Amino acid sequence: MSTKTRMSGNEAVAHAIKQINPDVMPAFPITPSTEIPQFVATMIANGEIDTEFIPVESEHSAMSAAMGASAAGARAVTATSSCGMALMWEVLYVAASSRLPIVMALVNRGLTGPLNINAEHSDSMGARDSGWIQIYAENNQEVYDNFLQAHRIAEHRDVRLPIMICQDGFITSHAVQNITLWDDEPIRKFVGEYEPEHYLLKEDESMAVGPYAVSPYCMEAKKAQAEAMKRARKVILDVAAEFETVTGQHYGFFEGYRLEDAEYAVVAIGSVCGTAKDAVDAMRARGMKAGLLKIRVFRPFPGQEIGEALKHCKAVAIMDRAESYSSQGGPLGAEVTAAMYRAKAQAETVNIMYGLSGRDVRVEDMEQVYASLEKLADGKISFPEYPYLGLRDGTEDLLSR
Amino acid sequence: MRHLTEIRWHGRGGQGAKTAALLLADVAFQSGKQVQGFPEYGPERMGAPITAYDRISDEQIRVHSNIYEPDFVAVVDDTLLHTVDVTAGLKEDGGILINTVKTAEEILPLLKGYRGKVYMLDARKVCMATLGKYFPNTPMLAAIVKISGVMDIDVFLREMETSLQHKFARKPEVLDGNRKALKLALEEVTEWQ
């Protein structure tokens, strides 16, 4: 059923693409996602898969070609990072509103500037309103498993939306770790063939993709798109349940780690959650009821479930790896806090900015976050603004605030 | 053996420190361990200082931070001793391995009073005697496995044999040189302190 091996996050995504054998992959290289099209192109050259690889001259063209392929009725994938996705910006919205189930491997890297190549969520968080489904991973195993589920979610007739499968640049994309790979045959069966109902190359059915919509129709189209995103909630859970029967791996909207009885919780996305789990165990060993809520699905946003899961906590730290320059904190902070308010959760909250441009986060840093939550609940400290974690210049100690 | 061993590599872009770190993760995996091997990236260019890391454990590795208190450090280029704080956080019950042609009297004063074990390897000598070309990462890999004890030497040599046969499937003529480089490095690594 499976093979235990070791590979990097980028290799894991490339292996998923190999098992899926999509019809078309247009891509343009950008650090740290470059390896993905590089590995896939090698597989094609070696005759392992028969995907049509389209080397394009920019990411705008990569997403445009993916749109063209998808609209024609093909299964299309691409990979990018940071400024590469920024150059796709216009087309991201067109792909989503045209309801084209493109699958994108996004290796998260900060948007410039200052120019930097390391992990940050400013690329995908900036595209959170583009209409794409977004699923995040803590490690190589999760990004592999998420990618295998992507087509099933995106192509489902109740959804028909593009999806980005995200992982942290370098931290997981370039780290070699143990991983379990699932056998080809059950995975091929699970992923299945793509059989779109409507597509440009369908005989005897003429259709237009992406035409102008006048005001009396345009708002209805957007509402229909929003409804599809709502329906994606159920599809994501159904696909995860089926994936579990094939692989034994359990996935949901989020993972609660020692969260059930937690008084102090951290909410975060991505690789930092592995580090936070070690901190949770360390704080538990010292007698603190610490827990973690790791968000896997950010679009659609499972606000109600998150609010309910945090209801019993005394204090919650919401961690953002992307500035929004709103002067109020980051995107995760805003959405989780709103979800908690709607669920009538009473916990104190603090929105913490961390890990920008790959700034390293140690277990000790996360322990400090938990320690500060206890003080926050006891009224011993307050956070008038949203603090930064791990800054070099004096404010690095959260407790000193 | 401790259940988690953390190793930090210092090298210069182009010397193969990252490759050595990934190879170590690879062979440790083959011996049944949980592993994590990863580079720390800055502006990439030949000759610039680079760092790479290995975690080798009997249990699942969840942490995703760099390594600040390594058990062992491998320095692939001794000119880094002047500019990089290679012993920063290095555990005193661990050790440091330095690739150098210099003497203990020249090198030890550069280690900022580090009191743990210090080992040297003349990787160039090993390479020239076995490969005829300077690829310091292969001998350094053998030496760090020996001094750290992260895996049994015989298991290491067996897994490297598989790995080398795969890597050099189309260049079988370099296989013997690599085998000899590993074995000679195991003999040549010297404890200075």
Q: What is the pLDDT of residue B32?
A: 93
Residues in A closer than 8 angstroms to B26, CB to CB, are 6, 176
B38 touching A (Cβ < 8 Å) = yes
Q: Based on the domain organization, do A269 and A212 belong to the same domain?
A: no
- pLDDT band at A401, cuts 50/70/90? very low
Q: Is the pLDDT of residue A395 over 70?
A: no
Q: What is the pLDDT of residue B47?
A: 87
Taking 90 as the threshold, does the pLDDT of residue B1 lie above it? no
Label residue A237 by pLDDT band (50, 70, 90): very high
Q: For residue B144, give the amino acid letter.
A: I
On chain B, the residues whose CB falls within 8 A of the CB of A117 are 41
How many Cα atoms are found within 13 Å in the side-chain-facing hemisphere of A317? 32
Q: Is the pLDDT of residue A1 over 90?
A: no
Number of domains in chain B: 1
Would you say residue A144 has pLDDT above 90? yes
Provide the pLDDT for residue A384.
80
> In whole angstroms, how far apart are CA A305 and each of A128, A300, A342?
19, 12, 11
- Same domain? A207 vs A305: no
Q: Is the pLDDT of residue A396 over 50?
A: no
Q: Which of A169, A194, A241, A253 shows the shortest CA–CA distance to A69?
A: A194
**How many angstroms separate the CA of residue B54 from the nearest CA in chain A?**
9
pLDDT above 90 (res A14): yes
Q: How close is the nearest chain B Cα to the Cα of A184, in Å?
A: 22
Phi, psi of A134 (to 5 degrees): -130, 125
Taking only the tens place, the pLDDT of each residue in A174-221 is 999 999 999 999 999 999 999 999 999 999 999 999 999 999 999 999
Nearest-by-Cβ selection for B64 from A32, A176, A275: A275
A318: CB partners within 8 A, 6+ apart = A266, A267, A268, A329, A332, A333, A336, A337, A349, A350, A351, A352
* A174/B63 touch (CB, cutoff 8 Å), yes or no: no
State the pLDDT at residue A394: 56
Closest Cα in chain A to B55: A177
State whether residue B99 is helix, strand or coil.
strand
- Stretch (H or E) spanning A382: none
The angle subtended at Cα A33 by Cα A149 and Cα A175, nearest 5°, is: 85
Distance CA A377, CA A40 (A): 50
The residue among A287, A293, A353 whose CA lies nearest residue A319 is A353
Dist. CA A61–CA A77, nearest whole Å = 13
Residues A35, A10: contact at Cβ < 8 Å? Answer: yes
**B115: which 2 tokens?**
């009191």
Q: Are B83 and B49 in contact (CB under 8 A)?
A: yes
Q: Do A278 and B37 touch (CB under 8 A)?
A: no
- Domains identified in chain A, total number: 2
The pTM of this model reads 0.96
A18-27, A361-370, B41-50, range with the lowest pLDDT: B41-50
In this prediction, what percent of chain A has a pLDDT beyond 70?
Answer: 98
A356-382 mean pLDDT: 95
Nearest to A275 among B34, B63, B68 (CB): B63
Domain CATH for A324: 3.40.50.920
Gap between the Cα atoms of B178 and B182, Å rounded: 6
Residue B165 contacts A, CB cutoff 8 Å: no
**A281 and A346, same structural domain?**
yes
Give the whole-angstrom CA distance, residue A334 versus residue A23.
Answer: 39
Q: Assess contact for A398 and A369: CB atoms under 8 A.
A: yes
Mean pLDDT score, A223-233: 98
Max Cα–Cα distance, chain A, nearest Å: 71
Is the pLDDT at B176 greater than 60, yes or no? yes
The 10s digit of each residue's pLDDT in A272-309 is 999 999 999 999 999 999 999 999 999 999 999 999 99
Residue B134 is part of a domain; what is its CATH number?
Answer: 3.40.920.10
Can you tell me the distance from the alpha carbon of A178 to that of A142, in angstroms, rounded to the nearest whole number? 12
**CA–CA separation, A298 vs A133, rounded Å?**
8
**What confidence score (pLDDT) does residue A399 get?**
47
Q: With left for phi above 0 and alpha for psi between -120 and 50, is residue A358 left, alpha or beta?
A: left
Q: Measured between CB atoms, does A48 come within 8 Å of chain B?
A: no
Average pLDDT over residues B98-102: 97
Q: Are residues A191 and A308 in the same domain?
A: no
DSSP H helical segments within A122-199, as ranges? 122-126, 140-155, 184-191
How far does B76 lie from chain A, in Å, by closest CA?
20
Start-to-end CA distance of chain A, whole Å, equals 52
Of A178, A271, A360, the CB nearest to B35: A178
- Give the per-residue pLDDT at A391: 87
Average pLDDT, chain A: 96
What does the alpha-carbon distance between residue A10 and residue A81 come to, in Å, rounded to a whole number? Answer: 12
Buried b or exposed e, range A140-158, using 16+ CB within 10 angstroms: bbbbbbbbbbbbbbbbbee
Q: Is the CB of residue B168 less than 8 Å away from at least one CB of chain A? A: no
For residue range A15-67, list pLDDT tens digits in order. Answer: 999 999 999 999 999 999 999 999 999 999 999 999 999 999 999 999 999 99
Shared domain check, A225 and A98? yes
Query: CB within 8 A of A314, min separation 6: which ones?
Result: A263, A264, A347, A348, A373, A377
CATH of the domain at A217: 3.40.50.970
Q: A175 to chain B nearest CA, in Å?
A: 4
What contacts A358, CB < 8 A, 6 or more positions away? A110, A116, A117, A118, A119, A120, A169, A170, A171
Residue A257 touches chain B, beta carbons under 8 Å: no
Least confident interval from A101-105, A207-211, A314-318, B142-146: A207-211
ipTM value for the complex: 0.94
Tokens matching residue A48: 């392992």
Residues A205 and A272 both lie in one domain: no
Write out pLDDT tens, residues B159-172.
Answer: 999 888 888 888 88
| Buried/exposed A248-273: b ≥16 CB within 10 Å, e otherwise | ebebebbbbbbbeebbbbbbbbbbbb
User: Of A213, A247, A281, which closes a domain?
Assistant: A247
Select the residue of A170, A177, A272 nearest B61 (Cβ to Cβ): A177
Contact state of B65 with A362 under an 8 Å Cβ cutoff:
yes
| Domain containing residue B122 | 4-191
Residue A394 belongs to domain spanning: 254-400
pLDDT, mean of residues A152-181: 98
CA distance A319 to chain B (A): 16
Which among A247, A278, A308 is the end of a domain?
Answer: A247
Contact A170 B25 (CB under 8 A): no
A171: contact with B, CB 8 A cutoff: yes
Q: Is B36 on the interface with A (CB under 8 A)?
A: yes
Residue A163 tokens read as 């999806």
Task: Assess whether A124 and A224 both reside in one domain.
Answer: yes
- Do A274 and A160 lie in a common domain? no
* Residue A400 pLDDT level (bands cut at 50, 70, 90): very low
Could you give the CA distance from residue B41 to residue B18 in angstroms, rounded to a whole number? Answer: 10
Residue B170: the pLDDT is 87
* Residue A340 identity (one-letter amino acid): M
Residue B45, burial from CB neighbour count under 10 angstroms (0-12, 13-18, 19+): exposed
From chain B, the residues in CB contact with A118 under 8 A are: 41
- Please tell me if residue A178 touches chain B, with a CB cutoff of 8 Å: yes
The answer on pLDDT for A90 being more than 60 is yes
Clarify whether residues A91 and A167 are in a common domain. Answer: yes
Closest to A106 measured CA to CA, from A96, A92, A116:
A92
Kindly state whether residues A104 and A210 are assigned to the same domain. Answer: yes
pLDDT at residue A11 is higher than 60: yes
